[in-house]
Copies of this chain bind each other. A is one copy, B any other.
Amino acid sequence: MGALIGEYECKLDEKGRLMVPSGLKKQLPAKEQKKFVVNRGFEKQLNMYPQKEWEKISSQINELNLFVKQNREFVRKFNNGATEVEVDGSGRILLPKTLMQYAGIDKEAILFAHSNRIEIWSKAEYDKFMKEGADDFAALAEQVMGNIPNKGKADVS
């Protein structure tokens, strides 16, 4: 699977179902358009992974020895609500209510795809997050990327 990309604004219908934009589906191989795994993200947002991507991650996690306390803690926090979701015949997904509440999603959501995941935000939280520290983006970029040697890297400034 290539890296995902795109930002999509979606409305939930009255039953809380979320349409997966066709533009996003097209980026995924046919076999990976049906099943996803959603869990809580670090910010007030959810992360959704195509099932295969999730399996790559979790197969390693599941090999940890659970008699070790630290491993138990890690496994639990790593999963953090991870739940399988499936798109219905009309290309919609129904997210568990507990996760919707966590992310504060009501009517409007933003799907923000990058690398191997799709982040799901409430529109309000997304705008807030992107607004905060918007001024300092240049400074942040320097902090994060400034020390990486510039081998054939594309200039994105």
Q: Which residues of A contact B (CB under 8 A)?
A: 3, 5-7, 9, 23, 37, 42-43, 53, 56-62, 64, 66, 69-84, 96, 98, 112, 114-116, 119, 129-130, 133-134, 137, 140-141, 143-145, 148, 152-156
Residues of B within 8 A of A130 (CB): 76-77, 80
Contact B69 A134, beta carbon cutoff 8 Å:
no
Shortest distance between the CB of A83 and any CB in chain B (Å) = 5
Residues of B within 8 A of A57 (CB): 153-154, 156
Residues of B within 8 A of A6 (CB): 82-84
**7 interchain pairs (CB within 8 A)?**
A5-B37, A42-B72, A56-B154, A57-B153, A73-B133, A74-B141, A76-B112
Contact B75 A114, beta carbon cutoff 8 Å:
yes
- The residue among A37, A70, A71, A114 with the most chain B CB atoms within 10 A of its own CB is A114
